[in-house]
Structure 1
Amino acid sequence: MPSTTVNTQKVLGIMAKPDADLEDMLFLFCPETETARASGREHFDHVSTRLSAGGPAVSEVAAQGVLTAAAKLLAAPFDAVRAELEAIEHPVLYANGLEDVMIPAHNSYVAVQHLSDATLVLYAGAGHAFLFQYAKAFTRQVADFLAA
């Protein structure tokens, strides 16, 4: 398994690419299993169809903003983030794929340890695109959380 540093460099490199291809996007969002990749291809086909039909696109400014924020977050020492987490007093639903290369599941586990009222949901066999891979289960989880 590649080190977190190698993955972080690869993630940021892909995010900075103006011409990221499907394989790049699959690396960012889906684990390297055929089931996850098939789900990812289906999702990206759907998005591509919507974009070609005039759906909203992400501007270069917005994409650079996300990249800047991600790089800043990845570079921040946890102690800087801890105080912000501990200041949150309302309930938080924290969800993640177990095989997320952008936000490792371990980071989510550590984060919820510093929230006073948190629910952590981890999806096996999923990466950053867990919400597409497990759309129905995640929708139910969100609805239940909001109803509570």
Structure 2
Amino acid sequence: MASSTTYLHAETSTAEGANGARYAYRRLGSTGGRPLVLLQHFRGNLDNWDHALIDPLAESRDVITFDNVGVGATTGRTPSTIAQMADDAIVFIEALGLDRIDLLGFSIGSFVAQEVALTRAALVTKLVLASTAPQGAPGMHGWAPDIIAAVGEPETGAEGVLHAFYTDSAASQAAGQQSLSRIFGGRTEGRDTPTGWQTRNAQYDSVLKWGTPDFGLLQRLAAIEQPVFVANGDDDRMILPWYSHLTASLIPDAFVKLYPDSAHGFLFQHAQEFAADVHKFLDA
């Protein structure tokens, strides 16, 4: 069950999946209502969620973060397709005994969230897609050279994250530095296992497959009937904001919000506002 602790002090638990994987996860917040399950970004683990976002999300709902197969402390090998990642996410949700959830996916996690909603529609009530793009969209076959160089090297440093996740403005860079300080300087004990090179390669392979142009695949999103909130920064250089509009245009019940002077990490830069928007959407 969830608890009232903060994300900074949330314990890491494990759940045994029917696929043989032992999933690492954290759960906090209110025990009432539908749980909100979060799907993480490229190479991210449990510790890469900013508690400035997680804590306000958990003020009035049950919030669950987890490492998918092969990521961080979860056992197994990371698959190289979004479809398999979605299947593995469903196994984790089943392992917790959940039958109705809300789902928030960030970056590559938003691709997985789309696939979960398409694969197991009855499981998902509402969907939040942060920094997203639809499968088969043009121009998504890999990221710009400066972006993959910033976040795709064996060791990703603060400078690379600030370049890929934040704009060049002084305000956005300062917000990024504050977020990194919270993420890497907050929890001192019980930190998650860093993601490995196998995960990096498998996840980027999955991004390339997802982004291979195929206009026929765009129509798949018409099958998502749940209400969907699509969000991004207005200057995201990793997944361009126009993909948010494209995604929303393909889903029958979706709307878009772009956050000012922000990029891929908008949800950490504008954590309080985004959390309030998520609550408003999920409670409506």
Q: What's the TM-score, normalizing by structure 1? A: 0.85
Pair 1:110 & 2:260 matched = no
Choose between structure 1 and 2: higher strand proportion: 2
Unaligned 5+ residue runs, structure 1? none
Equivalent residue, structure 2, for 1:23: 159
Q: How many residues align?
A: 144
Equivalent residue, structure 2, for 1:65: 202
Q: Which residue of 263, 266, 271 maps to 1:127? A: 263
**For residues 149 and 217 of structure 2, what CA distance do their matches in structure 1 show?**
24
Equivalent residue, structure 2, for 1:87: 223
Equivalent residue, structure 1, for 2:276: 140
Q: 1:51 Cα shift? A: 5.5
**For residues 135 and 117 of structure 1, what CA distance do their matches in structure 2 show?**
24
Q: Which residue of 29, 36, 43 maps to 2:179? A: 43
Q: 1:54 Cα shift? A: 3.3
Q: Deviations over 1:31-57 (max 9, x none)?
A: 001100000011111111145533224
**Contact 1:15/1:67 (<8 A) preserved:** no
Query: Post-superposition, which runs of at least 4 consecutive aligned residues in structure 1 deviate over 3 A?
Result: 50-54, 61-65
Q: 1:87 Cα shift? A: 1.7
SS in 2 for 1:113: helix
Task: Report which of the two structures shows the higher radius of gyration computed on alpha carbons.
Answer: 2
**For residues 269 and 209 of structure 2, what CA distance do their matches in structure 1 show?**
28
C-alpha distance 57-41 of structure 1, shift in aligned 2 (>3 A): farther
| Worse-matched range after superposition: 81-90 or 19-28 | 81-90
Unaligned 5+ residue runs, structure 2? 1-138
Q: 1:78 Cα shift? A: 5.2
Choose between structure 1 and 2: higher helix proportion: 1
Q: 1:8 Cα shift? A: 1.4
Higher relative contact order (CA 8 A, sep 6+): 1
SS in 2 for 1:119: strand
SS in 2 for 1:120: strand
**For residues 233 and 193 of structure 2, what CA distance do their matches in structure 1 show?**
25
The code of the aligned residue for 2:206 comes to A
**Contact 1:12/1:71 (<8 A) preserved:** no
**For residues 71 and 144 of structure 1, what CA distance do their matches in structure 2 show?**
34
C-alpha distance 58-68 of structure 1, shift in aligned 2 (>3 A): farther
**Contact 1:85/1:115 (<8 A) preserved:** yes
The code of the aligned residue for 1:24 comes to G
